[in-house]
Amino acid sequence: MNIISQVKLENFRTHDKFKLELKNPTTLIIGENGSGKTSLIEALYVSIQGKSFRSRDEDILKKGRKHYKVSTVFSDGRKNQMEYRAETGKKQFTVDDKTYARLPLKNRYPVVLFEPDDLNLLYNSPARRRDWLNRLISSIDEGYHKSLLRYEKALSQRNNVLKSDFYREHDIFAWNVILAEYGSHILTRRKELVSFINSGLQPIYQSIAENSDQTGVLYKSDSVTESDYLKKLTANLEKDKVLGQTTYGPHRDDVEFNFNGELAVNTASRGEIRTIVLSLKFIEAGLIQQELGINPIILLDDIFSELDNTRQHHLTNGFKNHQVIITSVNPPGEMSEDVRL
């Protein structure tokens, strides 16, 4: 198994200079609050995905310093380095002696991140769930990512036109056509993905929870085909003008989780919701493996304290074929610590 075997940080948040050798596929990192656990997870993520999951480079740069740097070495010999300089506000990636301004897609290493806030996925806003879907599909489908960027750009242009006092009908129509094209692509991919997740959710949930509760997931949308999409945008035009925004499209959709025939957030317990989210992480890892042919690296930031022993056990055993990097304030039951921050 190819694993990250070394990571070095320089001026990365609280870390001044920090080096970690990873010998085994599973590494448990223990440290108190504020000791730099999430920062380390973030640094690993930045180096293999090209950008942070939580903030901007200016926030990452250790206060008072001029540059930050993360270097990783894989067990197959691949080397990856990124450096950010405050002076230019730019990053530079070096992969096996070649330099890039952005980390090329082919050099990104797949990852599944599980952090405490993920446990709120079902309670958060629809925007958070759309974001989750978008990230997941983008990680396996570059075309989806492109459609999404184009859709978002067209959407904001259309909304600007709607807000202006004078415009020509054909300006709106031009944006409608673009929204229909990319919007229907987005819809199709999202529906496919949600139905894939749905087919895995029940069996995985039951194997973790060891009971017969029923759970599933549904993509919520008045979705239509590309040609109907245009009609829908046209039909909504008066309403959109009044509101100054586009009221129809995948930017309004949601994902709904159910539990024993009811909405999960209304009936399932906190622990049951956590189990649904845990199941999603397994499905995510399986999907990435299936689509990209690589077992993603699993980064588990401080989530053990939120799970009972049985679920902790499932988590450590369920990712046997992956490199797993775990952080925690206290060592979880069955495991012994590898690193203390």
Ligand X SMILES: Nc1ncnc2c1ncn2[C@@H]1O[C@H](COP(=O)(O)OP(=O)(O)OP(=O)(O)O)[C@@H](O)[C@H]1O
Q: Which amino acid, one-letter code, is at 159?
A: N
- The CB-of-45 to ligand X minimum distance in angstroms stands at 12
Neighbouring residues of 91: CB distance < 8 A, sequence distance ≥ 6: 57, 82, 83, 84, 101, 102
Kindly give the pairing relationship between strand 297-301 and strand 111-114: parallel
Nearest approach in angstroms of CB 37 to Mg ion is 5
Contact window for Mg ion (CB under 5 A) among 29-37, 179-187, 197-205, 291-299? 29-37
In the bound complex, what is the minimum distance in angstroms from residue 36's beta carbon to ligand X? 4
Residue pair 70/7 in contact by the 8 Å Cβ criterion? yes
Q: Is 39 in the site for ligand X (CB under 6 A)?
A: yes
Q: How far apart are CA 253 and CA 310, in angstroms?
A: 34
Quick one: 35 or 124, whose CB is closer to ligand X? 35
Q: Site size for Mg ion, by CB under 5 A?
A: 2
Total of residues contacting ligand X (CB under 6 A): 17
Cβ at position 59, least distance to ligand X in Å: 6
* Closest distance of CB 117 from Mg ion, Å: 10
Q: How far is CA 77 from the centre of its chain?
A: 27
Strands 324-328 and 26-30: parallel
Contact segment (CB under 5 A) with Mg ion among 36-44, 104-112, 176-184, 212-220 equals: 36-44
Q: What is the DSSP letter of 61?
A: B
Q: Is 38 near Mg ion (CB under 5 A)? A: yes
Among 5, 14, 52, 159, binds ligand X (CB under 6 A): 14
Q: Which residues share a beta bridge with 99?
A: 94
Question: Which of Mg ion, ligand X, none binds 170 (CB below 5-8 Å, type-dependent)?
Answer: none
Q: Which residue reads 């759970």 in tokens?
A: 215
Query: Per rule CB under 6 A, is residue 302 in the interface with ligand X?
Result: yes
Give yes or no for residue 328 binding Mg ion (CB under 5 A): no
Q: To the nearest whole angstrom, how small is the minimum distance from the Cβ of residue 337 to ligand X?
A: 14
Select from 8, 37, 274, 311 the one that contacts ligand X (CB under 6 A).
Answer: 37
Between strands 254-259 and 215-220, the pairing is antiparallel
Give yes or no for residue 13 binding ligand X (CB under 6 A).
yes
Contact between residue 40 and residue 18 where contact means Cβ atoms under 8 Å apart = yes
C-alpha–C-alpha distance, residues 148 and 134, integer Å: 8
Contacting ligand X (CB under 6 A), which of 62, 128, 145, 220? Answer: 62
Token pair for residue 308?
Answer: 């009972």
In the complex, the residues that contact ligand X under the rule CB under 6 A are: 13-14, 31, 33-39, 59-63, 302, 329
